[in-house]
Chain A
Amino acid sequence: MSNVAAELNETALCRHCGGEVIGMAAYCCGGCEAAHQLIGKSGLAVYYQRRILDAGQRKPRPEDLHQIGDLNAWVRDVDAETAELTLMIDGLHCGACVWLIEQFLLQQPGVVNARVSLTTRRLTLCWETSVCRPEVLTEGVQALGYRLVPLDPSCLVAKDEAEVKALLRCLAVAGFAAGNIMLLSVSVWLGADPWTRDLLHWVSAMIALPAVAYAGRPFFASAWNALKVRRTNMDVPISLAIILAPSLSLHETFTGGQHAYFDSAVTLLFFLLIGRFLDTRARRAARATAEQLLALNAEAATVIEADGTLRDVQPRQLAVGQRVLVVAGGRIPADGKVLSGNSRVDVQVISGESNPIDAELGTAVFAGTLNIEAPLTILVEKVGEATLLADILRLMEAAEARRGRFVRIAEKVARYYSPVVHLTALITFLSWVFIGGMAWQDALLIAIAVLIITCPCALALAVPAVQVVASQRLLKAGVLLKSADALERLRGVDHVLLDKTGTLTVGRPVLTTCSEPARLAKAAAIASHSRHPLAAALRRAAGLVMTLEGVREIPGQGLEWEGPDGIWRLGSTRFTGQRDNGSAAMMLFLVDPQGQATSFEFTDPLRDDAAEIVAALKTIGPVEIWSGDRAPTVEVCADAVGIIDWHAQALPTDKVARLEALRADGRNVLMIGDGINDAPALRAAVVSMAPASGAEIAQNAADLVFQGDHLAPVLVALNTAKTADRLVRQNLAISLTYNLAAVPLAIIGLVTPLIAALAMSSSSIIVVLNALRAGKTRGGRPS
Chain B
Amino acid sequence: MTVLLFLIPIALCLGGLGLFAFLWCMRSGQFDDLDGAAQRILFDDAPAPTHDRRPNS
Contacts and interface: CB of A to CB of B under 8 A. Distances in A.
Interface residues on B, range: 20 to 34
Given A95-B42, A99-B43, A180-B15, A199 B4 contact: yes
B47 A103 contact: yes
A217 interface: no
Contacts of B36: 95, 98, 116-119
B47 to A, nearest CB: 6
Chain B facing A: main interface SS: helix
A563 interface: no
B53 A112 contact: yes
A102 B31 CA distance: 19
Given A95-B36, A98-B36, A118-B39, 6 more contacts: A95-B38, A116-B36, A169-B26, A176-B16, A196-B1, A207-B12
Given A118-B33, A169-B23, A109 B51 contact: yes
Q: 7 closest A-B pairs (Cβ-Cβ)?
A: A95-B39, A118-B36, A117-B33, A118-B35, A176-B19, A119-B35, A119-B33
A43 interface: yes
Chain A facing B: main interface SS: helix
A173 B33 contact: no
A111 B39 contact: no
A173 B53 contact: no
A180 B12 CA distance: 7
A196 B18 CA distance: 26
Nearest to A43: B47
B28 interface: no
A697 B47 CA distance: 44
A43 B11 CA distance: 53
A107 B49 contact: yes
18 contacts: A94-B39, A95-B38, A95-B40, A95-B43, A96-B43, A103-B46, A107-B51, A118-B39, A119-B33, A165-B26, A168-B26, A172-B19, A176-B16, A176-B18, A179-B15, A180-B12, A180-B15, A196-B4
A431 interface: no
A112 B54 contact: yes
Interface of A: 43-44, 50, 94-96, 98-99, 102-103, 106-107, 109-112, 116-120, 165, 168-169, 172-173, 176, 179-180, 183-184, 193, 195-196, 199, 203, 207
A110 B4 CA distance: 59
A183 B11 contact: yes
Contacts of A184: 8
Contacts of B15: 176, 179-180
Nearest to B54: A112
A700 B33 CA distance: 26
A120 B19 contact: no
Nearest to A95: B39
A119 B40 contact: no
